[in-house]
Amino acid sequence: MTTNQPKYPRRQITDDAGADVSDDTANAIRVMTVTPGGVSATPTIIKEVRVTTVIQTATGGAYAANEIVGSDECTATATAEWLFAAVARENGAYGYITGATIVSESESITPRLTLFLFNAAPTSTVAGSAANTAPDAGDLAKYIGKIDFPAMESLGTTDSTATVSPSTVGNLPMVFKCAAGADDLYGILVTRDVFTQTDTDDMTIILTVEQF
């Protein structure tokens, strides 16, 4: 009596070390990292995160075209740039920005805003209401790119918003690499249009990021 044998042998999937991973469902979300030096032996997990930064505006937030939107709008006092903390899974890692939303508590404002991104603090002017100088030649080694938001809008008595995705104009998705000793990105927000932000209202930027 003979034992029935499968017509085709069992297929086996192995990793670099030869271990069978065909039954390990966790490997379905893992990818191998390809670098100029070859293929990494450690799989990388792709993870989606939302990074939110809020700046509360000061009094007198009136802007001319091509001015910086910072945390002290009524003067040209130097202010901190927008900080997007822990956008990468580790220092020096890569990621994709797949979505960006900007929200203002001020109702019925319609500016077109642009966010310049860097992987280290820029030397370009970051003072609120100052004329924009980004991206300056001295910051090109840090420069990631820019996200162009469409005109903000509000439906009824609600916050003004604008969103960018891969299916809209605005330069997404955008790949980035963090600096060797950091997992953050820095931003300079610039308005293309004249508008007034209501005193003490918040401006919020949300980035959706795939880390790898």
Can you give the CATH number for the domain in which 52 is found?
Answer: 2.60.120
Q: Establish if 56 belongs to a structural domain.
A: yes
Pick the range with the lowest mean pLDDT from 16-25, 94-103, 160-169.
Answer: 16-25
Residue 32 lies in a domain: no
Ramachandran region, residue 166 (left: φ > 0; alpha: ψ -120 to 50; beta: rest)? alpha
| Domain assignment of residue 7, yes or no | no
Query: Chain-wide mean pLDDT for the chain?
Result: 79
Pick from 2-16, 43-57, 63-77: least confident? 2-16
Separation between Cα atoms, residue 154 and residue 136, nearest integer Å: 33
Which pLDDT score, from 0 to 100, does residue 45 have? 59
8 compared with 206, residue with greater pLDDT: 206
CA distance 183 to 42: 19
Mean pLDDT of all residues in 87-98? 94
Q: Has residue 29 been placed in a domain? A: no
Residue 119, pLDDT > 60, answer: yes
Residue 3, CB half-sphere, CA atoms under 13 Å: how many?
2
Per the document, the length of the chain is 212
pLDDT reading at 105 higher than 60 = yes
| Domain-located, residue 154 | yes
Is 118 a domain residue? yes
The predicted-structure confidence for 22-39, as pLDDT tens digits, reads as follows: 444 443 344 444 555 555
Residue 81 falls within a domain, yes or no? yes
Residue 74 has pLDDT above 60, yes or no: no
- Its pTM stands at 0.76
Residue 9: cis peptide before it, omega within 30 degrees of 0:
no
Range of the domain at 145: 46-211
Half-sphere exposure of 98 (CA within 13 A, CB side): 12
Q: What does the block give as tokens for 76?
A: 């040209």
Domain-located, residue 74:
yes
Total of domains in the chain: 1
More confident residue, 208 or 10: 208
Q: Is the pLDDT of residue 208 over 90?
A: yes
